[in-house]
Amino acid sequence: MPEDSVIRTLIEAALSARQFSYSPYSGYQVGAALLAKSGDIYTGCNIENAAFSPTNCAERTAFFKAVSEGVRQFDAIAIAGGTKDKAIEKYAWPCGVCRQVMAEFCSPEAFYIISARSVDDYKIKALEALLPVGFGADNL
Protein backbone atom coordinates (compact mmCIF):
# COMPACT_ATOMS: atom_id res chain seq x y z
CA MET A 1 0.00 0.00 0.00
CA PRO A 2 1.53 3.39 -0.94
CA GLU A 3 2.19 5.94 1.82
CA ASP A 4 -0.41 8.65 2.42
CA SER A 5 1.81 11.34 0.89
CA VAL A 6 2.25 9.27 -2.27
CA ILE A 7 -1.48 8.65 -2.49
CA ARG A 8 -2.09 12.39 -2.23
CA THR A 9 0.44 13.13 -4.98
CA LEU A 10 -1.15 10.51 -7.24
CA ILE A 11 -4.66 11.87 -6.70
CA GLU A 12 -3.49 15.41 -7.43
CA ALA A 13 -1.91 14.17 -10.66
CA ALA A 14 -5.09 12.30 -11.66
CA LEU A 15 -7.25 15.36 -10.99
CA SER A 16 -4.85 17.49 -13.01
CA ALA A 17 -4.77 15.03 -15.93
CA ARG A 18 -8.57 15.04 -15.95
CA GLN A 19 -8.54 18.58 -17.36
CA PHE A 20 -7.21 17.16 -20.64
CA SER A 21 -10.05 14.65 -21.02
CA TYR A 22 -11.37 14.63 -24.57
CA SER A 23 -14.96 13.56 -23.95
CA PRO A 24 -17.37 15.54 -26.16
CA TYR A 25 -19.76 12.57 -26.49
CA SER A 26 -20.22 11.42 -22.91
CA GLY A 27 -19.28 14.58 -21.04
CA TYR A 28 -17.67 12.21 -18.51
CA GLN A 29 -14.13 13.28 -17.73
CA VAL A 30 -11.56 10.85 -16.33
CA GLY A 31 -7.99 11.40 -15.20
CA ALA A 32 -5.52 8.74 -14.09
CA ALA A 33 -2.04 8.76 -12.56
CA LEU A 34 0.01 5.56 -12.66
CA LEU A 35 2.89 5.07 -10.22
CA ALA A 36 5.83 3.09 -11.59
CA LYS A 37 8.13 1.18 -9.22
CA SER A 38 10.82 3.72 -10.15
CA GLY A 39 8.69 6.45 -8.55
CA ASP A 40 7.87 8.05 -11.89
CA ILE A 41 4.23 8.96 -12.53
CA TYR A 42 2.49 8.52 -15.89
CA THR A 43 -0.78 10.38 -16.35
CA GLY A 44 -3.65 9.75 -18.72
CA CYS A 45 -7.11 10.97 -19.65
CA ASN A 46 -9.99 9.43 -21.56
CA ILE A 47 -9.91 10.11 -25.28
CA GLU A 48 -13.22 9.66 -27.09
CA ASN A 49 -13.98 9.27 -30.77
CA ALA A 50 -16.96 9.97 -33.03
CA ALA A 51 -16.95 6.28 -33.98
CA PHE A 52 -17.23 5.48 -30.23
CA SER A 53 -15.33 2.15 -30.14
CA PRO A 54 -11.86 3.72 -30.64
CA THR A 55 -12.35 5.52 -27.30
CA ASN A 56 -9.49 4.98 -24.88
CA CYS A 57 -9.96 5.08 -21.11
CA ALA A 58 -7.77 7.27 -18.90
CA GLU A 59 -6.23 4.24 -17.20
CA ARG A 60 -5.14 2.64 -20.46
CA THR A 61 -3.79 5.93 -21.74
CA ALA A 62 -1.54 6.06 -18.66
CA PHE A 63 -0.48 2.40 -18.99
CA PHE A 64 0.25 2.66 -22.69
CA LYS A 65 2.29 5.82 -22.21
CA ALA A 66 4.44 4.04 -19.62
CA VAL A 67 4.80 0.73 -21.45
CA SER A 68 5.63 2.53 -24.70
CA GLU A 69 8.56 4.09 -22.85
CA GLY A 70 9.86 0.74 -21.61
CA VAL A 71 8.28 0.87 -18.14
CA ARG A 72 6.47 -2.32 -17.04
CA GLN A 73 6.52 -2.40 -13.26
CA PHE A 74 3.91 -0.55 -11.28
CA ASP A 75 2.68 -0.05 -7.71
CA ALA A 76 -0.59 1.88 -7.94
CA ILE A 77 -2.96 3.98 -10.04
CA ALA A 78 -5.23 6.83 -8.97
CA ILE A 79 -8.44 7.48 -10.91
CA ALA A 80 -10.80 10.44 -10.80
CA GLY A 81 -13.91 10.43 -12.99
CA GLY A 82 -17.10 12.44 -13.13
CA THR A 83 -19.35 14.62 -15.21
CA LYS A 84 -17.86 17.79 -16.69
CA ASP A 85 -18.31 20.97 -14.62
CA LYS A 86 -19.69 19.07 -11.62
CA ALA A 87 -18.12 17.91 -8.40
CA ILE A 88 -17.15 14.23 -8.59
CA GLU A 89 -20.10 12.40 -7.07
CA LYS A 90 -19.20 8.73 -7.29
CA TYR A 91 -16.04 6.69 -7.00
CA ALA A 92 -14.98 5.64 -10.50
CA TRP A 93 -13.57 2.13 -10.74
CA PRO A 94 -11.80 0.91 -13.89
CA CYS A 95 -13.77 -0.82 -16.64
CA GLY A 96 -13.18 -4.51 -17.37
CA VAL A 97 -10.84 -3.86 -20.29
CA CYS A 98 -8.62 -1.64 -18.15
CA ARG A 99 -8.60 -4.26 -15.36
CA GLN A 100 -7.37 -6.80 -17.89
CA VAL A 101 -4.58 -4.45 -19.02
CA MET A 102 -3.59 -3.92 -15.38
CA ALA A 103 -3.48 -7.72 -14.87
CA GLU A 104 -1.02 -8.04 -17.75
CA PHE A 105 1.61 -5.95 -15.96
CA CYS A 106 0.73 -5.85 -12.27
CA SER A 107 0.69 -8.15 -9.27
CA PRO A 108 -2.90 -8.94 -8.23
CA GLU A 109 -2.01 -8.63 -4.52
CA ALA A 110 0.44 -5.72 -4.69
CA PHE A 111 -1.07 -3.33 -7.21
CA TYR A 112 -3.45 -0.79 -5.71
CA ILE A 113 -6.27 1.09 -7.38
CA ILE A 114 -7.19 4.37 -5.74
CA SER A 115 -10.54 5.82 -6.73
CA ALA A 116 -10.77 9.45 -5.68
CA ARG A 117 -13.52 12.01 -5.40
CA SER A 118 -10.95 14.49 -4.03
CA VAL A 119 -7.53 14.39 -2.35
CA ASP A 120 -9.26 13.75 0.98
CA ASP A 121 -11.96 11.39 -0.19
CA TYR A 122 -10.85 8.14 -1.77
CA LYS A 123 -11.09 4.35 -1.57
CA ILE A 124 -8.36 1.79 -2.29
CA LYS A 125 -8.64 -1.78 -3.54
CA ALA A 126 -6.02 -4.31 -4.61
CA LEU A 127 -6.27 -5.50 -8.20
CA GLU A 128 -7.21 -9.03 -7.07
CA ALA A 129 -10.42 -7.63 -5.57
CA LEU A 130 -11.39 -6.05 -8.90
CA LEU A 131 -10.39 -8.93 -11.19
CA PRO A 132 -10.63 -12.25 -9.36
CA VAL A 133 -9.98 -15.49 -11.26
CA GLY A 134 -8.82 -13.61 -14.35
CA PHE A 135 -7.35 -14.89 -17.58
CA GLY A 136 -3.60 -14.35 -17.94
CA ALA A 137 -0.33 -15.55 -19.35
CA ASP A 138 -0.47 -18.61 -17.05
CA ASN A 139 -3.42 -19.91 -19.02
CA LEU A 140 -1.51 -20.09 -22.29
Residue type, 21: S
Q: Examine residue 57 and tell whether it contacts ligand THU (CB under 6 A).
A: yes
Q: Which stretch binds ligand THU (CB under 6 A): 2-10, 93-101, 117-125, 129-137?
A: 93-101
Residue of 9, 55, 83, 107 interacting with ligand THU (CB under 6 A) = 55
Active site residues: 59
Do 104 and 130 form a contact (C-beta atoms < 8 A)?
no
Instruction: State the Cα–Cα distance between residues 84 and 6, nearest whole angstrom.
Output: 26
- For ligand THU, the binding residues in 20-39 under the rule CB under 6 A are 23, 26, 28, 30
| Total site size for ligand THU, rule CB under 6 A | 13
Instruction: State the Cα–Cα distance between residues 125 and 93, nearest whole angstrom.
Output: 10
Instruction: State the Cα–Cα distance between residues 115 and 117, nearest whole angstrom.
Output: 7
In the three-class reduction of DSSP (H, G, I as helix; E, B as strand; rest coil), residue 85 is classed as: coil
In the complex, the residues that contact ligand THU under the rule CB under 6 A are 23, 26, 28, 30, 46, 48, 55, 57-59, 94-95, 98
